Structure 1
Amino acid sequence: MASGAISQHTRELSEPSEPTLLDLLSNTLVLHHIVPHLPITSLLRVASASKALRGLIQHTPGVFRHVDLTSIHSAQVDIKAIDHGGEIWRNVQLDENLTEDDFYSGPLRGIFYNIGHFGVLQNVQTLVLDGLSVTAELVNEILVDPRFHVRILSIRDAKNLNERKLMQSLRYACRASREEGTPQLKGLYIFGKKDTPVLPAATSTASTPSARSASISIDWNHKSNHALKEAMTADGEDWYHKRGKMISRPIAEGWAETLLDCRSAINFDAVLCTGPRHQNSPALGRVPVLTVPGGRSPWSVATFALGGCNSCGCAPEGFTEYGESLAEQLPLLAPPPLHSSNPKNATRPQNIHADGKEPLRFVPRCWDCIRDRYCFSCDQWWCESCYQAPTDAELQAAQHVHIVEDTGSLSDHEAVATEPPKLKDPKIKRDCWECQTNCLDCIAQTQLHCRVCGGGYCIKHHEGSTMTHCDWCSARGRHIRELY
């Protein structure tokens, strides 16, 4: 009996024990890949579980390098303005000395104070504040306050942000006479949309077989949604892979000059337009361009990412190409990198071909530089060297000549001497208001004529229409089109 007990005890000592959470997190490679996916509240809760975990999390470099506060409930400010023409604010007690900045940035300042008390704030290098209440004064503190060491800041779709004051702070921080090594901020996400929140994983405590099978189905649905989102992200919805409009929000006046002044110091998730009408364009003065009504600034922020011209396959100013263009000419790509706070990694595309046969490049343009030369359906466009759209004056002159010829108000001698202006065949037209401008090939596929009434209609935006009948004539019981 004694020898059997001794042998059993020996086997128990020789068999490896199951690893604990501390053993798993003690591996720095595993720890650095896990912590960017966890909110800071979860990390602090894990640190409060034991002294060993607390020491591991607080003393391991890089644990709090990436902090995302978008999911923190205390950071949300879902309120309207303080004063609505004399209305009484009853939800909170407001101090007479409370400023608007203190009110709207109060939740984030409170979080910064708390994590600074734990010695975390100075270790944050990537800070994500998308969709939160972020004021220009708070961003200015992140720029100049020595407590912060943020290198990449994301404030996409931020609320209560005074962009005018923010531009002033950025341009002052990037002034030519600034101190060496300042500002510490090297990347700013502000023009794009905030990332779509990940669906929470389904949990179940059911014990019956039917409930368990239903829970399994729900889990698989969530996994499918996550897999679909990862697949869409892997396809590369960025400036290099996606074509069309990249920035949907309106660009406030002054941002182009701000990007120009901060070019050597801070990268943004947008770049300047390189069209030949702008002073920063390499093709300035090489090709004729039409003046845009209301155009005042010699610079503009690019809102479209285009491929080569549909005719020549290039552009007068050339391409913005990863690996060939200067680092200051490359945009930050969404989402912000999880495992790095280096702006060079934030400008690196996801899908880089190792063989180098397909270079990653695009043509950044603003709307004024592709007006009347871009198709919203197929994303094709024509450059200034290959196509010049007819001006409004030419179209009006041609229309006036046709009207005069139809009315016959000119004499025979004047009619012979008057020749209609010769215009190039337009490549871009707008037959449907919702489709915006389209090329002739896309118009032929979407803009049809009804065989019954002869009226024109759009197959994409007129619900109930068919390839032969409009929505009115194809309705049940309708064979003719009633005008009244």
Structure 2
Amino acid sequence: MSSTESTLWSDGSSSHRTAGIVNIGMDPQVEHLEQIPTSLFDLFNNPIIADNLLQYLPFSSISRLARASRVYYNWVFQTPKVFQYLDLSRSRGAYTPPIPRIDNGGHSWRAERMDENLTEDEFYAGPLRSVLNRLNRLQILPDVKVLVLDGLASVTHDLLYEIATDNRYNVRLLSIRQCPNVNQSRLQQLLRHICRPTRPEGTPRLQGLYYFTNPADDYGRSDSVSVSSVMSVDGAALGLLPTSKSRPQDNEARWYSPSGRVVQHGTTNRTSWEETLQACDGIISFDVVLCKAMHESVASCLHDASVDVMNAKPGVSTIATVALGPEGCSGCGKAPDGAPIWGQSNISEFPLLSPPPFSGKLIDAVRPPHRIHSPSKTFLPQRLIVSCTWCLVNRHCDSCHIWWCADCYNPKHSQKLKDLETISANTNLSYLPSASELQSSDGKGDSVKVFNGLCVENCLVGEMMAGAGSNGMWA
């Protein structure tokens, strides 16, 4: 006779488990419940459970798991998904000190013969190349679809060229944000080369590049990582620190909420990245997009200074640096013509959201958060409304980030705004206009909606009331 075990639950009822069959109370509807897995290996051997667990395990933990037994070793190195996401951004082996010393020793790459033939790229890339070569010997490298190298001084042009063109690599999503030794000009040349019209069929393998956003925003961590903290953690053979690969909701929503400036590149001056992004359009996605829809929609109301900036590169779009949220114009609620809508537009029109997804699929990297209508709890179409700074002059509030389309407000038609800009430019201090100077008698027509980057209705009034003193300017 098989043994029987009784269990008393918190509500006072009892259950009897006999040979894997659980009878709960006397409920006739519950006849059989399968016995739960009895080992960690059974959990990992379930594809659904493994996919959800692996994204939270750093390489150091996976490496220790492989050393636990021959069974785990075989599973780790015979399951391609185990290594499809590889974060080396905090690897001790790939770390290069800010001021490297040639005679420091302690790393295998430094033991190589160093003479006048060793280039600067080869010297800096040595630590990371050593790690990647070891992964290649373990036959791991071809399985890597997502490679995160943020902040590493070991990332150089020669190494990036290998990752993008060498058949040993199968990287789909690459993150090289804030890598100090990346040469921007040579990186742009590389990207334009692998996206050239005469490229071989099936190339490039690279589908997404993270370069413009701040990796510190991914997990709310500090920009700086102390050398002592990196070097003191007891990792595995490659010394990788634990990292979380889950994508925080607040970070992914930055492009899809009125969050204002989301990137720094291209905010004050036009850059050569604009031509590169345009050459890679539809081939490689980036963590930024070009300002196409907004510029075409507001051509009639662009500030004269903005027109000069646009004419400097005719036919080349600027980089979108400001996120305005999906709600649309503050007056009519419309989005610019051609603004991407998720599910209707091509996925190449959407920016990569950080951190990179564990799956390594481009669609998972650009999929926006759900947009829900609060009262009815129904899903609304998710719209990407972004702009460059030049398209928003005098039509966008830098504080609350509301904006107006050309149909609802054209600053070029406001003589009041022109007069106020002239007065403000001729005064040493910021000019504070009165309410009558900003509004027309009928509340329409020549009214000013934005002055000095603040909306007149809310933010500018509040600022002036706070600093008006006893004059009661806005009383």
TM-based fold match above 0.5: yes
Please say if residues 274 and 317 of structure 1, whose CA atoms lie closer than 8 Å, have aligned partners that are also in contact.
no
Distance 2:195 2:469 in 1: 65
Q: Please, which of 120, 139, 144 is the counterpart of residue 165 of structure 2?
A: 144
Matched residue SS, 1:333: coil
Whose relative contact order is higher, 1 or 2, with alpha carbons under 8 Å and at least 6 apart?
A: 2
Please say if residues 316 and 385 of structure 1, whose CA atoms lie closer than 8 Å, have aligned partners that are also in contact.
no
Distance 2:468 2:333 in 1: 39
Length-normalised TM-score, structure 1: 0.69
Q: Please, which of 46, 63, 68 is the counterpart of residue 49 of structure 1?
A: 68
- Counterparts in 2 of 1:85-96, with a 5 A limit? 91=104, 95-96=115-116
Shift, 1:156, TM fit: 2.1
Unaligned runs of 5+ in 2: 4-17, 21-34, 222-242, 428-444
Shift, 1:59, TM fit: 0.7
- Counterparts in 2 of 1:246-265, with a 5 A limit? 246-250=262-266, 253-265=271-283
Shift, 1:359, TM fit: 1.1
Distance 1:75 1:197 in 2: 21
2:53 is aligned with 1:34:
yes
Distance 1:344 1:231 in 2: 14
Q: Please, which of 444, 465, 468 is the counterpart of residue 448 of structure 1?
A: 465
Distance 1:188 1:337 in 2: 13
2:303 is aligned with 1:290:
yes
Please say if residues 126 and 341 of structure 1, whose CA atoms lie closer than 8 Å, have aligned partners that are also in contact.
yes
Shift, 1:266, TM fit: 0.9
Matched residue SS, 2:253: coil
Report the equivalent of 2:254: 238
Please say if residues 234 and 350 of structure 1, whose CA atoms lie closer than 8 Å, have aligned partners that are also in contact.
no
Please say if residues 275 and 369 of structure 1, whose CA atoms lie closer than 8 Å, have aligned partners that are also in contact.
no
Shift, 1:444, TM fit: 1.1
Report the equivalent of 1:206: none
Matched residue SS, 2:465: strand
Please say if residues 309 and 382 of structure 1, whose CA atoms lie closer than 8 Å, have aligned partners that are also in contact.
yes
Shifted more, 177-186 versus 346-355: the winner is 346-355
Q: Render the CA deviation track for 1:222-245: whole Å, top value 9, x for unaligned.
A: xxxx9xx99962685232245422
Residues 330/22 of structure 1: CA separation in 2 closer, same or farther (3 Å cut): same
Report the equivalent of 2:291: 273
2:173 is aligned with 1:157:
no
Number of aligned residues? 386
2:134 is aligned with 1:117:
no
Q: Render the CA deviation track for 1:61-93: whole Å, top value 9, x for unaligned.
A: 31111111123222222314x7xxxxx976467
- Counterparts in 2 of 1:158-177, with a 5 A limit? 158-177=179-198
Residues 428/66 of structure 1: CA separation in 2 closer, same or farther (3 Å cut): same
| RMSD value, Cα | 3.9
Shift, 1:142, TM fit: 1.0
2:315 is aligned with 1:302:
no
Matched residue SS, 2:193: helix
2:348 is aligned with 1:328:
yes
Shift, 1:396, TM fit: 8.4
The code of the aligned residue for 1:135 comes to T
Please say if residues 319 and 362 of structure 1, whose CA atoms lie closer than 8 Å, have aligned partners that are also in contact.
yes
Length-normalised TM-score, structure 2: 0.71
Distance 1:367 1:42 in 2: 45
Shifted more, 390-399 versus 165-174: the winner is 390-399
Report the equivalent of 1:207: none
Matched residue SS, 2:142: helix
Shift, 1:451, TM fit: 7.7
Residues 26/449 of structure 1: CA separation in 2 closer, same or farther (3 Å cut): closer
Distance 1:115 1:123 in 2: 10
Residues 89/139 of structure 1: CA separation in 2 closer, same or farther (3 Å cut): closer
Distance 1:24 1:75 in 2: 32
- Counterparts in 2 of 1:80-479, with a 5 A limit? 80=99, 91=104, 95-133=115-153, 134-194=155-215, 195-197=217-219, 233=249, 236-250=252-266, 253-275=271-293, 277=295, 281=296, 283=297, 287-291=300-304, 292=306, 293-295=308-310, 296-297=312-313, 298-306=316-324, 307-338=327-358, 340-351=359-370, 357-390=379-412, 394-395=418-419, 424-430=446-452, 437-448=454-465, 454=471
Shift, 1:150, TM fit: 0.5
Please say if residues 152 and 188 of structure 1, whose CA atoms lie closer than 8 Å, have aligned partners that are also in contact.
yes
Distance 1:176 1:231 in 2: 34
Shifted more, 188-197 versus 358-367: the winner is 188-197
Distance 1:323 1:51 in 2: 46
Distance 1:372 1:7 in 2: 81
The code of the aligned residue for 1:337 comes to P
Please say if residues 57 and 63 of structure 1, whose CA atoms lie closer than 8 Å, have aligned partners that are also in contact.
yes
Identity among equivalent positions (%) equals 33
Shift, 1:137, TM fit: 2.5
Please say if residues 66 and 126 of structure 1, whose CA atoms lie closer than 8 Å, have aligned partners that are also in contact.
yes
Q: Render the CA deviation track for 1:343-398: whole Å, top value 9, x for unaligned.
A: 01211123255987511003221011112211011111122333232599943897
Q: Render the CA deviation track for 1:257-300: whole Å, top value 9, x for unaligned.
A: 111111121111111102564xxx4x486x35334244422311
The code of the aligned residue for 1:237 comes to A
Runs of 4+ in 1 over 4 A off after TM superposition: 13-18, 88-94, 195-199, 229-232, 249-252, 352-357, 390-394, 396-400, 449-457
Please say if residues 270 and 302 of structure 1, whose CA atoms lie closer than 8 Å, have aligned partners that are also in contact.
yes
2:94 is aligned with 1:75:
yes
Distance 2:371 2:405 in 1: 27
Matched residue SS, 1:62: helix
Shift, 1:49, TM fit: 2.2
